[in-house]
Amino acid sequence: MRYDPRASSQEQLPALLAHRSRAAGRLSRPGPAGPSPTWRAAWRGHTEESRIRPVPAPIASVVDGALEATTVLSYTRVGHAVRSRLEGWEAPHELAGSGRRVVITGASSGLGEAAAAAVLAAGAHTHLLVRSSERANETRARLTRALGSDVLDRITHDVADLTNLATVRRAAQRLVDDGAPVHALVHNAGATFDRAARTVDGLERTYQLHVAGPFLLTALLLPRLATSAPARVITVSSGGMYTQRLEVDRLVDPGAGYRPTVAYAQAKRAQVELTTAFARRADRHGVDAYVMHPGWADTPGVRTSLPTFRRVVGPLLRNPAQGADTIAWLALARLPAAPAGRIWHDRRARASHRLPTTRAARGEVARLWRRVCRDVGLDPAACLEHHNDP
Ligand SMILES: NC(=O)c1ccc[n+]([C@@H]2O[C@H](COP(=O)([O-])OP(=O)(O)OC[C@H]3O[C@@H](n4cnc5c(N)ncnc54)[C@H](OP(=O)(O)O)[C@@H]3O)[C@@H](O)[C@H]2O)c1
């Protein structure tokens, strides 16, 4: 299949990666001319003929801010297309991935797989943490088919289901035992569910998948991240969280009032609040914590869960590589320490609240912290240290 940069579907991924791989092959021994413009254009989702000069920084800030204010344009491929032409936006393959290992949950599909492809293209090692070996092998096959068999020795995988804490513990232990560094941990796995359900651990499913499971994984890997420092924890949230104020009781037990989109957005809001709380504590271990949202990208998850939304936004949806761009960038780029209480989108830190009414009540984040520790069986004092909000 030939890569068509105007297309947005997941089926484009292999062709996009093949295109990138060919270009990466050329770039593995960069000549004086530097990265190929064709390569840059392909990644950015431009036409291959595009030869637009980067917009200089002062204008870039104005353009970026104007896009952000529109929300819709910002989240679609328009936002990515414009911003990727702004000054200082290096292509993902230009990131310094060599010698770095990035662990990605939910890497068997959509944004997780696209993030894995991006970090591989940058020369990093990726560890796919997925639900089944079969899915992992399919993903490895797609990645190697697209990027070339030489990436095979930079892909490892393991199995964990975030809605089953025993599997998370085992996968974390294997990562600790294998002795290799973990420079970045990406919490990408996610889903919406039509109905409320309890997991084998007795927790509300949406809450465990997005909040409790990732929290446990971070806690168990913190020593490994610390010995790999500087290291990063990156959580993939959603712009949907802007509609929600953290309400711990509703998050952990929505009861009869369960609504899929609200439960999802509550969990995504909780990810943002917990990242801010965790970042304060992780810093002393040489670990930075970032939370990002990808905008709206055409992935299997969106196709299954939001068919009407997908039909309406249609060709304006980002492709998975565009949605995953900031994940790979946060994993590998040279970054400032994460500013507290911000969420990253298209490589910039954004406000984590758009409405004053979504700010958490005093003490609510501390309550969430204690609740999550309890739910995953951790002693807060011994593990991630007790959190108190101001
Ligand atoms: N696409 C968007 O526009 C968009 C917008 C905002 C936020 N997001 C967020 O981006 C992330 C990726 O979403 P996506 O759109 O790429 O969806 P996707 O194509 O459905 O991919 C979701 C991934 O999560 C994995 N997963 C689901 N439940 C899991 C569990 N219990 N344990 C471990 N892994 C599990 C899936 O594994 P299987 O392959 O085994 O099912 C899959 O690999 C999610 O956190 C989502 O909330 C996406």
Instruction: Annotate 333-358 with DSSP letters as a single string.
Output: S--PPPPTTEEEETTEEEES-SSGGG
Alpha carbon nearest to ligand 1 atom 46, residue: 190
Mean pLDDT value across the chain: 85
Q: Is 301 in the pocket of ligand 1 (CB under 6 A)?
A: yes
Is residue 7 within 6 Å of ligand 1 at its C-beta? no
Confidence of residue 58 (pLDDT cuts 50, 70, 90): confident
The answer to whether the CB of 359 is under 6 A from ligand 1 is: no
To the query of whether residue 290 is one of the catalytic residues in this protein, the response is no
How far is 230 from 220, CA to CA, in rounded Å? 17
Q: What is the DSSP letter of 208?
A: I
Per-residue pLDDT tens for 337-368?
Answer: 777 779 999 999 999 999 999 999 999 999 99
Q: Which atom of ligand 1 is nearest to the CA of 108?
A: 43
pLDDT tier for residue 385 given thresholds of 50, 70 and 90: low
Instruction: Tell me the HSE value of 154 on the side-chain side, using a 13 A CA sphere.
Output: 24
pLDDT value at residue 335: 84
Q: Which of 32, 12, 33, 27 is nearest to 97 (CA)?
A: 27
Q: How far apart (Å, rounded) are the C-alpha atoms in residues 290 and 184?
A: 11
Structural contact between residues 251 and 203, judged by C-beta atoms closer than 8 angstroms:
no
Q: What number does the ligand 1 atom closest to the CA of 187 have?
A: 45
The residue to mutate among 11, 109, 298, having the most atoms of ligand 1 within 8 angstroms of its beta carbon, is 109
Query: Of ligand 1's atoms, which has the minimum distance to the CA of residue 237?
Result: 7
Measured in residues, the chain has a length of 390
Question: What's the pLDDT band for 380 if we cut at 50, 70, 90?
Answer: low
Instruction: For residue 32, report the distance from its CA to the centre of ligand 1, in Å.
Output: 40
| CA of residue 252 relative to chain centroid, distance | 23
- Spacing, Cα 340 to ligand 1 middle (Å): 25
Judge whether residue 27 has pLDDT over 60. Answer: no
State in Å: Cα 181 to ligand 1 middle.
25
Predicted pLDDT at 48: 31
Pairwise CA distance, residues 327 & 99, whole Å: 18
pLDDT the model gives residue 382: 60
Q: Cα–chain-centroid distance for residue 171?
A: 19
Residue percentage of the chain with pLDDT more than 70: 83
| Interval between CA 109 and ligand 1 midpoint (Å) | 7
Q: Is the pLDDT of residue 18 over 80?
A: no
Q: Is the distance from CB of 163 to CB of 131 less than 8 angstroms?
A: no
DSSP 3-state of 245: coil
Rounded-to-10 torsion of CA 35, 36, 37, 40: -60
56-375: what fold?
Answer: Rossmann fold (3.40.50)
Predicted TM-score of the model (pTM): 0.87
pLDDT tens per residue across span 289-304: 999 999 999 999 999 9
User: 200 C-alpha to center of ligand 1: Å?
Assistant: 20
Backbone torsions φ then ψ of 126, nearest 5 degrees: -125, 140
pLDDT at 50: 36
Which pairs with CB-CB distance under 8 Å and at least 24 residues apart come from 308-315? 313/76, 315/8
Lowest mean pLDDT among 170-184, 216-230, 371-385: 371-385
Give the confidence band of 185 by pLDDT, cuts at 50, 70, 90: very high
Check pocket membership of 297 for ligand 1, CB cut-off 6 A.
Answer: yes
Residue 121 has pLDDT above 90, yes or no: yes
- Rounded to whole angstroms, how far apart are CA atoms 283 and 149? 37
Question: Measured between alpha carbons, how far is residue 257 from residues 114, 192, 203, 254, 262 in Å?
Answer: 35, 15, 16, 6, 10
At residue 54 the predicted structure's pLDDT band, cuts being 50, 70 and 90, is low
Q: Is 294 in the pocket of ligand 1 (CB under 6 A)?
A: yes
Catalytic residue, chosen from 207, 242, 264, 290, is: 264
Q: What is the pLDDT of residue 87?
A: 77
Mean pLDDT to the nearest integer, 60-64? 85
Residue 110 Cβ < 6 Å to ligand 1: yes
Calculate ∠ Cα 107-8-326, nearest 5°.
Answer: 50
190 touches ligand 1 (CB under 6 Å): yes
190 within 8 A of 106, measured Cβ to Cβ: yes
208-253 pLDDT per residue, tens: 999 999 999 999 999 999 999 999 999 999 999 999 999 999 999 9
Sort 56 into a burial class: Cβ within 10 Å, 0-12 / 13-18 / 19+.
exposed
CA of 145 to the centre of ligand 1 (A): 22
Does the beta carbon of 191 sit less than 6 angstroms from any atom of ligand 1?
Answer: yes
Nearest-CA residue for ligand 1 atom 36 is: 106
For 50-96, the three-class secondary structure string (H helix, E strand, C coil) is CCCCCECHHHHHHHHHHHHHHCHHHHCHHHHHHHCCECCCCCHHHCC
pLDDT at 337: 72
Q: pLDDT: is 63 or 268 the higher one?
A: 268
How much is the pLDDT for 45? Answer: 39
Q: What is the pLDDT of residue 340?
A: 74
